[in-house]
């Protein structure tokens, strides 16, 4: 699951305006490897896969998609990849706590929180669906916790915020 980035291999990127800001997806070696809150750099071409990722993001924000179906490659340790897989398994409109994921992985909650914060493909890998035991927890995307709340409201999980 770890894509090598080489100097000879340029990442394909494309961006989209969404209710939570401009999102840019990056693809390399046939897999989505990152999502950031920024416009794609000028002169960088997209690909068929980045176009599909943008189409799925549009459908998600239009309430027409409940699960992303894209090839993903998470650069990171085995633990980072395991946390990303656990986050990806959380259905739309549901949440889990850092502690619940930690228990499933046989780890402590703090490293799970750190791995959530290092998620390279937020929204598509739904780190916003992971909450603290007694609160929202953090969010590393643009807008911080406000963006996390907006995504949870969008997904119909707002009842959990009251």
Q: Say which of 24, 84, 116, 127 is annotated catalytic.
A: 127
- Kindly report the number of other CB atoms within 10 A of residue 14's CB atom: 21
Helix ranges restricted to H, 16-63:
48-61
Residue count (the chain): 162
**140 near 100, Cβ under 8 Å?**
no
CA–CA gap between residue 15 and residue 22 (Å, rounded): 7
Residue pair 115/104 in contact (Cβ under 8 Å)? The answer is no
Distance CA 26, CA 40 (A): 9
Q: What is the C-alpha to C-alpha distance for residues 58 and 20, in angstroms, rounded to an integer?
A: 12
Active site residue 127: yes
Tell me which residues are annotated as active site: 127
């Amino acid at each position: 699951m770890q894509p090598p980035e080489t100097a000879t291999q340029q990442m394909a990127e494309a961006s989209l305006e969404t209710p939570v800001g401009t999102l840019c997806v990056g693809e390399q070696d046939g897999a989505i490897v990152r999502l950031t809150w920024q416009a794609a750099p000028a002169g960088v071409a997209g690909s068929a896969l980045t176009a599909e990722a943008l189409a799925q993001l549009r459908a998600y924000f239009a309430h027409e998609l409940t699960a992303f179906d894209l090839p993903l490659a998470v650069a990171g340790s085995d633990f980072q990849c395991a946390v990303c897989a656990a986050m990806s398994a959380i259905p739309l409109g549901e949440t889990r706590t850092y502690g619940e994921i930690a228990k499933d992985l046989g780890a402590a909650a703090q490293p799970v929180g750190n791995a959530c914060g290092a998620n390279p493909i937020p929204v598509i890998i739904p780190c916003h669906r992971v909450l603290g035991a007694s609160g929202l927890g953090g969010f590393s995307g643009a807008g911080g916790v406000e963006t996390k709340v907006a995504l949870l409201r969008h997904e119909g999980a707002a009842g959990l915020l009251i």
